[in-house]
């Protein structure tokens, strides 16, 4: 018996049938649909996906015909009697309650949008998005009135997808996000590349602030009030401040719940009861990179877990290898993707044996028209070079690079392996030294001792000499406050202008020329360090700072 008929539950049911033609399989789903495309819901709201039927990846009929599975939609599991190995089920259409026996039970209840008890939370026009009916209600709301202004509460994956889709329908969007950055899973400086893009599309970004309550406006719309005292009028409000695992059934059955609030399972997706499995957004997963339990409500892992639970139930030796947190999100022409651990996750986990480099290469060679930058951060273990994580933001080719680094992490690769990776190259597809190669090379250069990194957050330290080796015109366009400009091509002839008693922190635009300069200076006896990723990284760390645009001090 399987409780929950979307990603994990549906995968589990189908796999069970493939493994055992003769088992009796009952799939309970309390909603009206099984196996629907929940990841597609924001795009249905945005009318990118126009036909609701497209969201129904499978149907109860198909499950019956193809897989001989007894699918019961609108049937809710109320409680589990573990001793009797029975589930108490309620038929939501008839109200009838009945008991159903199981030999093996799989829980796939998912996670529900967080909906805090704020004043006015129940007002019409405030929505969350989890199911097909939810998205239909939002569409109906928008079709029934002129919706000009929206407030999206929460600037994470779903919030930004919703912002994109509302924008796509011509709505002015304000985003309110409690943390100081968009896309909270990203490191702050990488989220700055996101903020910059979102700022050109959203009518307002309210970061570091939370909603205090909602009111009906005199005009008929809604007023969203924030803790810091801001007020935004809106014709619709979307709450996307995260999800909470649906653990009610598991809790009341006395199954073990983890510290992060999800159902605790072992490698075989088995709960603390050996006859009960759990999969999908409601379970805690082991992050193999960060080395900790976490919630990761994503479809890919849910599907894999469903398969694995089925394998184990059928007596196979399957195990879930854990997660590494690969994810992607697209909005306003930008793609954001990450895999493995972020710097903030590592710090939170108490890990200090790591280091990060930044590169900003084009998604293909610059001489072929249309190259767009990829901003990439690569995090690796200092002690052995093992890759710990990567984050990338750009318009093109972002998911490609993160997918391949994801595979590298899965296989335990080190930065040296990225340096040597043999990747698809033709002018319109990349570069002979791909973005991933470049990140790997830079990290490998650091680990081999060919160059040392200077920390961007200390770039204004008094006792360092900050050297900018870009051309004069570039320097005039803005640089680190206090930096001295000597273009790389002049550096060998102007070494006497540099101090021997201080560290020299070198930057350029993206880091390549600065690396050359560091190699040059080190071999001439200077204590040179590289500011990785150059001015592009600087601006991500210091977005608020008015760049120095005065003439070169070295003119």
Q: Restricting to residues 40-99, name those near a second copy by CB under 8 A.
A: 40, 43, 48-49, 54-55, 57, 62, 65-68
d(CA 442, CA 518): 12
Residue 429 binds a second copy, judged by CB under 8 A: yes
d(CA 346, CA 197): 27
d(CA 130, CA 7): 13
CA distances from 367 to 165, 261, 398, 430, 534 (A): 34, 51, 19, 11, 21
Q: Which of residues 304-323 bind a second copy (CB under 8 A)?
A: 304, 321, 323
Q: Which of residues 124-183 bind a second copy (CB under 8 A)?
A: 161
Q: Which of residues 512-541 bind a second copy (CB under 8 A)?
A: 513, 515-516, 519-520, 523-524
Residue 406 binds a second copy, judged by CB under 8 A: yes
Of 146-154, 202-210, 295-303, 372-380, the segment contacting a second copy by CB under 8 A is 295-303
Asked if 239 and 126 count as a contact pair (C-beta separation under 8 A), the reply is yes
Is 424 labeled as catalytic in the residue annotation? no
3-state secondary structure of 462: coil
Residue 551 binds a second copy, judged by CB under 8 A: no
Token readout for 176 is 């309110």
DSSP summary character for residue 491: G
CB of 437 to a second copy, least distance (A): 8
d(CA 157, CA 150): 17
Q: Which of residues 319-348 bind a second copy (CB under 8 A)?
A: 321, 323-330, 335, 337, 339
Number of residues that bind a second copy (CB under 8 A): 86
- The gap from C-alpha 469 to its chain's centroid, in whole angstroms, comes to 35
CB of 220 to a second copy, least distance (A): 34
Length of the chain: 555
Long-range contacts of 310-316 (CB under 8 A, 24+ apart): 310/11, 310/12, 310/13, 310/15, 310/16, 310/19, 310/106, 311/15, 311/19, 312/268, 312/269, 312/270, 312/277, 313/16, 313/104, 313/106, 313/277, 314/16, 314/19, 314/20, 316/19
- Catalytic site residue from 12, 466, 508, 518: 508
Residue 492 binds a second copy, judged by CB under 8 A: yes
Of 89-97, 211-219, 235-243, 486-494, the segment contacting a second copy by CB under 8 A is 486-494
Q: Show the site string, 245-274: x = touches a second copy by CB under 8 A, - = not.
A: ------------------------------
Choose between 37 and 126: whose C-beta lies nearer to a second copy: 37
CB of 323 to a second copy, least distance (A): 6
Q: Which of residues 357-386 bind a second copy (CB under 8 A)?
A: 365, 367-369
Choose between 118 and 423: whose C-beta lies nearer to a second copy: 423
Q: Which residues are catalytic?
A: 508
């Amino acid at each position: 018996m399987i409780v929950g008929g979307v990603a994990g539950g549906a995968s589990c049911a189908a796999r069970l049938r493939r493994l055992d033609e003769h088992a009796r399989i009952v799939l309970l789903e309390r909603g009206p649909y099984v196996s629907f495309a929940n990841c597609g819901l924001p795009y249905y709201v945005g009318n990118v996906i126009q036909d609701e039927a497209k969201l129904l990846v499978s149907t109860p009929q198909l499950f019956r015909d193809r897989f001989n599975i007894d699918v019961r939609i609108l049937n809710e599991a109320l409680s589990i009697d573990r001793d009797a190995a029975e589930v108490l089920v309620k038929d939501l259409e008839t109200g009838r309650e009945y008991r159903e026996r199981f030999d093996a039970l799989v829980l796939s209840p998912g996670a529900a949008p967080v909906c805090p008890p704020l004043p006015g939370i129940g007002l019409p026009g405030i929505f969350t998005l989890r199911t097909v009916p939810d998205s239909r209600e939002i569409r109906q709301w928008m079709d029934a009135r002129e919706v000009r202004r929206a407030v999206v509460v929460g600037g994470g994956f779903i919030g930004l997808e919703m912002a994109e889709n509302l924008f796509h329908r011509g709505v002015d969007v304000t985003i309110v996000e409690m943390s100081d950055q968009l896309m909270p899973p990203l490191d702050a400086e990488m989220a700055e590349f996101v903020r910059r893009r979102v700022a050109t599309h959203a009518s307002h970004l309210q970061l570091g602030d939370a909603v205090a309550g909602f009111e009906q406006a005199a005009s008929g719309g809604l007023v969203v009030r924030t803790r810091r005292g801001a007020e935004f009028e809106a014709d619709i409000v979307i709450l996307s401040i995260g999800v909470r695992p649906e653990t009610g059934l598991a809790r009341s059955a006395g199954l073990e719940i983890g510290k992060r609030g999800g159902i605790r399972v072992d490698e075989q997706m088995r709960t603390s009861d050996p006859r009960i499995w759990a999969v999908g957004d409601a379970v805690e997963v082991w992050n193999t990179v960060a080395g900790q339990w976490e919630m990761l409500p994503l479809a890919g892992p849910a599907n894999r877990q469903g398969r694995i639970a089925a394998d184990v139930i059928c007596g196979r030796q399957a195990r879930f290898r854990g997660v590494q947190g690969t994810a992607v999100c697209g909005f306003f022409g930008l793609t954001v993707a990450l895999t493995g651990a972020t710097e903030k996750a590592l710090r939170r986990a108490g890990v200090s044996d790591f280091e990060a480099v930044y590169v900003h290469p084009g998604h293909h060679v610059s001489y072929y028209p249309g190259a767009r930058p990829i901003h990439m951060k690569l995090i690796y273990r200092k002690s052995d070079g093992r890759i710990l994580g990567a984050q990338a933001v750009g318009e093109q080719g972002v998911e490609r690079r993160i997918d391949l680094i994801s595979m590298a992490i899965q296989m335990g690769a080190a930065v040296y392996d990225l340096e040597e990776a043999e990747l698809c190259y033709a002018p319109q597809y990349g570069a002979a030294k791909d973005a991933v190669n470049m990140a790997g090379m830079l990290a490998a250069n650091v680990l081999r001792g060919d160059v040392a990194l200077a920390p961007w957050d200390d770039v204004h330290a008094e006792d360092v000499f900050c050297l900018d080796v870009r051309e004069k015109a570039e320097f005039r366009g803005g640089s680190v406050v206090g930096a001295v400009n000597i273009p790389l091509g002049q550096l060998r002839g102007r070494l006497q202008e540099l101090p021997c008693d201080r560290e020299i922190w070198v930057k350029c635009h993206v880091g390549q020329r600065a690396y050359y300069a560091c190699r040059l200076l080190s071999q001439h006896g200077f204590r040179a360090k590289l500011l990785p990723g150059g001015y592009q990284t600087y601006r991500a760390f210091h977005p608020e700072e008015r760049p120095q645009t005065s003439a070169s001090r070295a003119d």
